[in-house]
Homo-oligomer: A and B are copies of this chain.
């Protein structure tokens, strides 16, 4: 493989600068920022990444604000969930307000917990999109040592994919031209707030067509001398509902536009409505409905159904959507409660489009993610979550393929997995938003209106879906369920409560070396590695310890999934990372009872855990939680994105071989850059241990700074 060509040093005057990059990302919204953060973890292996955004600055307010439990688990995996949880407004209860059947007066008719208790360690929280993007970008900059920062005021102008090159993994088949905008161009009218500090989101809402939005950035004509031509191996289009990338690829959005029109206000309310700090669904008798979302910084968001309807294919007149009009409508819904405010931070309006693309990319070289491939109502709080989870799914695969670790075919599972999720979301949203937009039915008139009992039932059922916990990826090369689609057949009964294809969840365990109680997911953060979670059972029993030693002999051997797929220039746990959780009493065994180096890696003290009560934090009961027999044990393969990929027994090393053979490239064939790569050789412990510990040290220092 030739090394990447550098930027043309002596370009002719007038001809655009040409540069090369492994991955180009268009759009620095939630999907693009997540892509940047995940890919930043591969920059120390040489991966180059650039992020382009046409806007001149990140958002300070408005737009999406809901963060569901699954996304919080992902933030834990990325290492900054504490900051998000602390900054956000945690939601605990949903209250339903409806007209009293007798008097018609607004009353509280029911309440349910927000996030089903026990579903996740993290409860849904609210934090506006700009802060979420900021956290992701800070993290990306940290892990890339400053190499990945979004390049703003950069408008994509042309995209070409050379199909003759798409199967050559060393080639740059994508040619992207980007234009650097002037300040005026990248700050179209509508960006700034009004005199009262209120900002409008109308200019980027569904009230605009793609053409109208694009025109905003072409107010001053082209400046050819400011164009750069970027040759890329891969491109990720995260450029929103009006996706420019999607239109270049000729991919269409298919679906419906509803007739319902909504307004949104983010404000500091002065009200005597008692549930203003709860998530509420309020249906008035005749004035429409409201959803209340308590936000961070004492703000509250109201989604307000407006007395406007549009016909499908038409757009509402933007001039109707003034803060006063939206607020006045909200007052009518909340009557007899008062609603005043002296500060509206942001407002917008939208009609609901429920649409999906029939493809999530082309040639496994150009991908679409987030709103670029699915749009729906914002009220279920799924937009930002699904968008980030799209690139969370895509980018570990992209990172592994682009750095030579995984096979190119792995990328096909991105569309396969996420298109199903997007379809489920649209199906859910159709049901959910219709119920929300409808008028409450009188008891004797069920056909015409919304049955409020059904509304609550959908809310309860939607809770698990909304938390992001309903995703169950189908059988594939990376999901070994029943082998129906060429995957491996798992022995699911060995870990009965960890369904293959679903997200792996945490249990508390106790560190063998330090006696410290830790959540297992905290100890297996995202590194790009697959985890082999080895549950050998009670290792004080000879049968269990023998089984573990046999597994260790295999792992240490020259043909194991560790030895076969780990390039010599990476630490031994970079690709397939064994972590052991035994269930003997911690003090009945010693660190040095465990086989070295695969199980107890010398001088590395965070790879062996006991399932036992802790001194300070109760008992995690990991084996019981996961449905793993203490007699039989299990190996659970957790994908880099924290989904369970395979469940087998400790003796099933042949199944491990088969599973990874479908996904990974033998180190001698791959690696990045090719010249440095060789299959991992038996290490000189004294040196390797130190070298790798120093690497750990450097990363920890980075984290601390």
Q: Enumerate chain A interface residues (CB-CB to B < 8 A).
A: 82-83, 86-87, 89-93, 111, 113, 115, 117, 123, 131, 268-272, 274-278, 294, 296-299, 340, 342-343, 511, 513-517, 587, 590-592, 602-603, 605, 614-616, 686, 689-690, 693-694, 696-697, 700-701, 703-704
Contacts and interface: CB of A to CB of B under 8 A. Distances in A.
Nearest to A125: B516
Contacts of A89: 514
A447 to B, nearest CB: 34
A697 B61 CA distance: 14
Given A272-B592, A278-B514, A514-B278, A113 B298 contact: no
Given A87-B703, A296-B700, A615-B113, A689 B270 contact: yes
A696 B614 CA distance: 39
Contact of A268 (B274, B343, B693): B693
How many copies of this protein are present in the complex?
2
Contacts of A115: 615-616
B616 A87 contact: no
A274 B591 contact: yes
Given A92-B516, A342-B690, A700-B298, A123 B616 contact: yes
A268 B692 CA distance: 12
Contact of A117 (B268, B278, B603, B615): B615
A516 B90 contact: yes
Nearest to A294: B514
Contact of A92 (B87, B591, B616, B704): B616
A355 to B, nearest CB: 34
A82 B117 CA distance: 24
A517 to B, nearest CB: 7
B93 A268 contact: no
B111 A587 contact: yes
B694 A343 contact: yes
A226 to B, nearest CB: 32
A301 to B, nearest CB: 14
Contacts of A297: 697, 700-701, 704
A686 B338 CA distance: 13
A276 B512 CA distance: 11
Question: Counting chain B CB atoms within 10 Å of each CB, which of A91, A131, A277, A587 scores highest?
Answer: A277
Contacts of A340: 686
Nearest to A111: B587
A113 B587 CA distance: 13
Given A274-B592, A296-B700, A700-B296, A515 B93 contact: yes
Contacts of A93: 514-515, 615
Contact of A515 (B278, B298, B514, B697): B278
A478 to B, nearest CB: 31
A507 B334 CA distance: 36
Closest 5 CB pairs of A and B: A93-B515, A277-B514, A113-B615, A92-B515, A277-B513
Question: Counting chain B CB atoms within 10 Å of each CB, which of A92, A113, A693, A701 scores highest?
Answer: A92
Question: Counting chain B CB atoms within 10 Å of each CB, which of A278, A587, A605, A615 scores highest?
Answer: A615
A296 B686 contact: no
Contacts of A703: 87
A497 to B, nearest CB: 20
Contacts of A693: 268, 298
Contacts of A515: 92-93, 278
18 contacts: A82-B82, A82-B83, A87-B703, A91-B514, A92-B616, A117-B615, A268-B690, A268-B693, A269-B603, A270-B602, A270-B686, A271-B603, A275-B513, A296-B700, A297-B701, A298-B605, A298-B700, A299-B697
Contacts of A123: 616
Contacts of A602: 270
Contacts of A343: 690, 694
A68 to B, nearest CB: 14
Given A272-B592, A277-B513, 17 more contacts: A82-B86, A87-B703, A93-B514, A93-B615, A113-B615, A115-B616, A117-B615, A117-B616, A123-B616, A131-B704, A270-B689, A275-B513, A276-B513, A278-B515, A297-B701, A298-B696, A340-B686
Contacts of A591: 274
Contacts of A342: 690
Contacts of A276: 513, 605
Contacts of A686: 270, 340
A138 to B, nearest CB: 12
A602 B587 CA distance: 56
A340 B690 CA distance: 11
A270 B615 contact: no
Contacts of A614: 92
Contacts of A270: 602-603, 686, 689-690
Nearest to A605: B277
Nearest to A112: B615
Nearest to A269: B603
A514 B124 CA distance: 13
Nearest to A297: B700
A515 B108 CA distance: 15
A514 B300 CA distance: 12
A418 B73 CA distance: 44
A515 B124 CA distance: 13
A48 to B, nearest CB: 29
Nearest to A689: B270
A278 B603 CA distance: 14
A390 to B, nearest CB: 26
Nearest to A604: B298
Given A131-B704, A296-B700, A700-B296, A274 B590 contact: yes
A269 B299 CA distance: 51
A590 B277 CA distance: 13
Contacts of A277: 511, 513-514, 605
Contacts of A271: 603
A689 B271 CA distance: 11
B514 A92 contact: yes
A71 B268 CA distance: 36
Nearest to A518: B90
A83 B704 CA distance: 9
B704 A87 contact: yes
A92 B700 contact: no
A228 to B, nearest CB: 32
Nearest to A516: B92
A90 B86 CA distance: 21
A602 B298 CA distance: 13
A249 to B, nearest CB: 38
